[in-house]
Structure 1
Amino acid sequence: MTLTLSRTEWSSYADDHTRRVDALLSGHLARRKRREAHPVEDFLFTYYPTRPNQLRVWHPGPGVRMLDAPEYDGRRGYVVVDGTACVDPAEIERRTDSIGWIRRLLASTLDRQPQFGCFGLHEWAMVYRTPEVRHAAWPLRLGAEGTDRVVESHKIGCSHFDAFRFFTDSARPLNVLQPTRESQPVLEQGGCLHANMDLYKWACKLMPFTPSSLVLSCFELARDIRTLDMRASPYDLAALGYSPVRIETPEGKAEYTAAQRAFADRARPLRRQLVDLCDELLG
């Protein structure tokens, strides 16, 4: 079924989208002008490749025709005929393998039982026994020796390759699992903060086919997860207004696990929508 939108209709959606993006990105863009870095709020633009100007472009998703939309002419993934724009079927065909891989990863994660016992120790394993920390401008809350003791006193069970690959050389052998890119579809599970944060990455990789409303829902989820990720990290970010989640204590573990479960509940319907989008594209 195809939905046809007049210019008045689709431009209204596009304007609302742009306002939403500008509100979400205002702090990041202001800091960028001042050449200031923020270890929490800037992460989505330093770790993931999608740029702010790319987010500002509104995409309706497949099955939608936009009348009087010459500005979409020349944009990747669109075809414009007599001023009417829609997703280019040839672009979908060219990206079938990529869409299929993303679909397999998301669907296997959706079907796997979530795990909630990692306590965010991946961030601790990234600074284990090394003076070269990723956020050198911020002190370690327990100091280097205290941080190392936390790592050594816990079972590390990180299942996410893109977190594991940043572990220090000393920390990697301590992980129960040894994730690889090839094993990602087998190990990824819906309790993992980074797997749920990555829904934003997969939504962006599927652009322009992903409806922009879904992209921004994944962005907001990733932003909120990053906040927990860094509050539970070994860094002391009190000066930025972030109270720590003290995962080295029973109370901190309980707080972390409750938040982790809530994020898994938010992520599941978004992951399902992305799987359904892939099915529609591949169908």
Structure 2
Amino acid sequence: MSEGKLTFEYCDKLVHDFEKVIDKAIVGNSKVYYTGVDLGTACIVIAVLDENYRPVAGAYRYADVVRDGMVVDYIGAVKIVRELKEEIEEKLGKELLYAAAAIPPGTDALDSGAIKNVVQAAGFELTNLLDEPTAANEVLKIENGAVVDIGGGTTGISILKDGKVVYIADEPTGGTHFSLVISGAYGMNFSEADKFKRDNRRHKELLPVLKPVVEKVSSIINQHINGYDVNEISLVGGTCCLTGIEEIIEKQTGIYTHKPHNPMFVTPLGIALSCTKEIIE
């Protein structure tokens, strides 16, 4: 069995285990819990791991408090993160103290302070703040290749060589643009279109409609990996849940493209894996 296949199996198993604990938390005697807070454009996800970094609880909520990677409703973001935190704490019977968070690559000068303040205001001690594709690679464990995080508002790209990030970029184009296309094609309002695209049963029908936007994402990827020796692309982010998106990207880039099971949960799990007990001041 190839090393790549083993890596993908680790990622998929971790996501499967996390999906289970969202429905039913594992109550135990862990001395510490490590939390990942993913403030996405379309969805806020909290992933909780025990002292051995195994999934024990999680929760998520679709929200409109972040746009294009920037917090636009600070009070709303704090409220949702606090409510999800309390929901999980009630299930575990334990207080969650430590959390890590992530931001789109290249936006640290613009919004890292807001993300940090949201997490702290919700009652966490912030222990790490990293870019989203790098967080995702904590789960993917790619040594050489590109991690592409297609979120609600932006597409983030990290290129790795020998396990280290050598290039990061973030470009507007993501799930929001998918919803806008669906809205126009089907005569729906934006909110209806956003929900419509999440229905897996509609994906076969939607793929031809969304193909031009996926091709735009592919051109963004091509632009940023140009000049780097990239022979593998791994997709993460909620927008990548679109069935068949990986096939279009692979065709447009000419590079093997892998999509893990439920890519929406890869980044929050990677954020949680990056959590420690060392508090950021």
| Fold conserved between structures, TM > 0.5 | no
- Structure number with bigger Rg: 1
Which bin holds the TM-score, normalised by the shorter protein? under 0.3
Q: TM-score, normalised by structure 2?
A: 0.26
Q: TM-score, normalised by structure 1?
A: 0.26
Q: Is the helix fraction higher in 1 or 2?
A: 1
